Amino acid sequence: MLPVSQIIRRKRDGGELTPAEVRELVLGYARAELPDYQMSALLMAIVFRGLTPGETAAWLDAMIRSGIVVDFSHVPGVKVDKHSTGGIGDKVSLCLAPLVAACGVPVPMMSGRGLGHTGGTLDKLESIPGFRTDQPVERFRKIVARCGLALVGQTSDLVPADRRLYALRDVTATVESVPLITASILSKKIAEGADALVLDVKVGDGAFMKTPEDARTLARSLVRAARAYGKPLVALLTRMDRPLGRTAGNALEAIEAIDVLQGRGPADVVELTLALGAEMLVLGGRAANQLEARARLRRALDDGSGLERFRAVVEAQGGDPRAVDDTTLLPRAPKITAVHATRSGWIDHIGCETVGWLNVELGAGRRTSADAVDPGVGMVFIRNVGDRVEEGDTLVEVHHRDEPAAADVVRRLADAVAIGDAPPGDVPLVLERIDE
């Protein structure tokens, strides 16, 4: 291989790297043989110059090869997972995975923690007393075989290159690269043993992808790269211009996901769960089309089999299964302060990214990976975008501990809710479906 400095220069000048060069660079960095300063320079060149489809495929393959790939051949059927790019109030994974598993599709789900303004699935799950997401690979395999699903965090031997690279990208302003995001997402999903994938790409103020154009670019990159690797992938672009459901905060969102499985969840969370679940059932070969898939998912909601799967996986991962039926066992913040409407009208807009960062200030999220999370704090949205309100109505309930900090959050949250004189235009929940 040429000296690393020459390879960096070639990419900086718009040239293409060979698969062998990509492999040596990624694996060398995973082994700590390539210094941070050279990888940082390469990453910045990639941000400006991009990667070709061939380079992206090579980068993805090298990331996967940096660790082990989980073998689920002992579990019958097509294993299907779902990934969300993150938003405010996105608790869908908690109700989606058991519902899909109840319909016969195994779901080996490996999720992440909240970082930045969006929440993390692992933090929500760990608000359930005793629930352990840090399962070793062999235990992960056994739980999927027994329950039809598992909800775990990334282990140290899966895609170690991604952990090192993401930490470096986070501190060198090189996160916003579609090929690098593509390789990061897919490497973990392929290494975890999934045969097919459904992707929820959030679009709007509360998402990392602010415009449909950016979301579409990422979705198409992921579909192409996954299919080149032999993994079918369907992406749905979904709105994130308002909080999803009624809650934002770890225990509050876990309770809302349980509400969905009990047949009484918010309409938007239920609909998104059904939309993503239908794609998973079709990819998993358990339904011939969307109509049949939705009917099966509805039956699993109505007969309680989705809820039973969730109860089973909670117990299998060390959690208290009683919390599924008695959610008062989950953590609660000791104080609630209301945000009131300052005028009458229709809620025109809620600054979702602002909501996310205010939730972080309450303690529901983290600014760095080392920060602790308070599972009981968060927000309950009594009203959402499009609702008619009268002056003095409660818009949001803030669940908190520290009075001075909460007072500032309440004030800024009131400013983040815009009330207009007419109903806002309707934005569909699912904006687009991309499978090629």
| Active-site amino acid positions | 83, 162, 169, 184, 188
- For the chain, give the number of residues: 436
CA distance to 22, 97, 314, 319, per residue, from 129 (Å): 44, 19, 9, 6
Say how far apart CA 190 and CA 57 lie, in whole Å. Answer: 13
Amino acid at site 295? A
Cβ(416)–Cβ(351) under 8 Å?
Answer: yes
Q: Strand 196-203's sheet: what is its strand order?
A: 80-84, 196-203, 233-239, 430-434
Name the pairing type of β-strands 149-153 and 107-111: parallel
Say how far apart CA 230 and CA 217 lie, in whole Å. Answer: 20
Cβ(213)–Cβ(253) under 8 Å?
Answer: no
The DSSP element (H or E) to which 122 belongs, if any, is helix 121-125
- Judged on CB neighbours under 10 Å (0-12, 13-18, 19+), 425 is exposed
With CA atoms as reference, report the closest residue to 306 among 94, 72, 81. 94
Cβ(128)–Cβ(330) under 8 Å?
Answer: yes
CA 410-411-414 angle, 5° bins = 85
Say how far apart CA 220 and CA 198 lie, in whole Å. Answer: 13
